[in-house]
Structure 1
């Protein structure tokens, strides 16, 4: 049985305020940095209700446009009531295209998470060119993602993954991940094992945790950790976007700058050098 875990800031409540809002932000970000170093992942509060509502409304609009109705789906968690499983992949690909054509969607997303990633990765950032959408409908065996590490498919270890759900996520409807301390103990076993990934997932079941993330929150995780999802045995659908972010100047894997990543932000020194270079040239 895989456990469920909700990782955040111990004792921190979103309604709690500091006199100095800057100090509040630094306190939160430092706590998330500690979570990343300890567990390899953390759950952040996006802190912008209008942003979440706007993105949810965009997804609902995309969904109902696909279904040919403005009334069918009123809550994303009820998507499975209207969308047949056999139409899921076509739907997902079309919505991904719409998401990536919508500049406001991308800007809302990046503006909200920038302070966290700049604190974790530095001021110069690169972001995955295309935002991805993952969907899990109740009982859909075709949407399982077996245990994997993104590094096994050529990604750089210097990347972090941002996972933003637009429905409540819990138990089998969520994703599972192996915390850093467990993976450190299992890594040598993995290297020498002759078992299949499916067999290892079963053997290591007690080491995985399902993450609980609510709308208005996001999961940041190091994608070197084994993670995946199983068949959704709950009663609601799950829709989440994910995107990878890294420091612009750290090593790239098979996914390079230009073809897979694009610059997101430049730090003061980089801007200074660019400015000076234009004057020299």
Structure 2
């Protein structure tokens, strides 16, 4: 075996051990915290977002955690969040973050991978309930349990500013989590805020759910992988720093999930296909009756 072949074999073995251990925790709890095998693009994204905030504001914020000190108005925050999201999408950072973890994700989710085309970029300032979605279960909003949310912070998060999860809730029946659906006069279907990830008809879980949740402190270079059936969220950032993050939906390309749904016609984009799937697609192109 050549030196290159030995290196590839070692990397594959390491990735296998990594995703197997992470996978066991994910199945049990509905979430798992992972130190990314290749965090370089995450750090690059943080640097680029900081520079873009500086450009928008016309002065330096030094670090993203201090964002709230310069942006107090909710209207200004939404305007900046939209501009940052456009920048984030146009720069292709999310796709590169996911692609950099290919060896791990191929074992964790599958060799055929779709990723959200326009993943949400979130900004949660301290003491601002409007910046948060509250506690929710994404399957209540039409998401599939086959999907995985890859929550990537671009700021370090302590217990007060961190996302919160309800371990094991991904396996519970929907009846265990009754909700009240409310309308939001500011957000309409297909609006700019809806495209930023704010639901136009949020489904609010009972307050006691928050009491049973636990925080997941994180640092830049880690990712929180969550089942879409997991109860999670935060009612307000109770910390002293701004949380800036992205939640990227990822799904196996062979899972029974529509790639065109919701507020976007191109909700998912294919990142890569296995050789067997590529070969099968050649066959089904000429034999459409055998297509899934």
Q: Same fold (TM over 0.5)?
A: yes
Whether 1:79 aligns to 2:58 is no
Match of 2:27 in 1: 37
Offset at residue 277 of structure 1 (A): 6.9
Structure with greater helix share of residues: 1
1:219 is matched with which residue: 217, 224, 242? Answer: 224
Q: CA 1:22–1:251 in 2, change beyond 3 Å: closer, same or farther?
A: closer
Offset at residue 240 of structure 1 (A): 0.4
Q: CA 1:174–1:67 in 2, change beyond 3 Å: closer, same or farther?
A: same
- Tell whether the 8 Å contact from 1:99 to 1:131 is kept in structure 2 after alignment: no
Q: CA 1:184–1:166 in 2, change beyond 3 Å: closer, same or farther?
A: same
Offset at residue 143 of structure 1 (A): 1.1
Q: CA 1:157–1:184 in 2, change beyond 3 Å: closer, same or farther?
A: closer
Offset at residue 195 of structure 1 (A): 11
Offset at residue 106 of structure 1 (A): 3.3
Offset at residue 199 of structure 1 (A): 6.6
Which digits, 9 at most, give the CA deviation of each residue in 1:145-166, with x for residues without a partner?
1211111111122100010001
Q: CA 1:204–1:131 in 2, change beyond 3 Å: closer, same or farther?
A: closer
Match of 1:20 in 2: 10
Offset at residue 220 of structure 1 (A): 0.5
Match of 1:101 in 2: 90
| Structure-1-length-normalised TM-score | 0.81
1:89 is matched with which residue: 59, 68, 78? Answer: 78
Distance 1:230 1:172 in 2: 11
- Tell whether the 8 Å contact from 1:85 to 1:140 is kept in structure 2 after alignment: no
1:266 is matched with which residue: 263, 270, 273? Answer: 273
Offset at residue 89 of structure 1 (A): 0.8
1:190 is matched with which residue: 177, 183, 205? Answer: 177
- Tell whether the 8 Å contact from 1:172 to 1:231 is kept in structure 2 after alignment: no
Q: CA 1:51–1:183 in 2, change beyond 3 Å: closer, same or farther?
A: closer
Offset at residue 112 of structure 1 (A): 2.2
Offset at residue 49 of structure 1 (A): 4.8
| Structure-2-length-normalised TM-score | 0.78
Aligned pairs (5 A) from 1:66-215 = 66-69=56-59, 72-86=60-74, 87-103=76-92, 105-180=93-168, 182=169, 184=171, 187-190=174-177, 200-201=206-207, 203-215=208-220
Q: CA 1:81–1:149 in 2, change beyond 3 Å: closer, same or farther?
A: same
Match of 1:55 in 2: 45
Offset at residue 35 of structure 1 (A): 0.9
More deviation, 20-29/75-84: 20-29
Offset at residue 198 of structure 1 (A): 5.6
Backbone CA RMSD of aligned residues: 2.9
Which digits, 9 at most, give the CA deviation of each residue in 1:65-112, with x for residues without a partner?
11123xx21111111121223211111111101111013x23431222
- Tell whether the 8 Å contact from 2:37 to 2:101 is kept in structure 1 after alignment: no
Query: Which consecutive unaligned segments of at least 5 residues does structure 2 have?
Result: 1-8, 183-202, 288-292
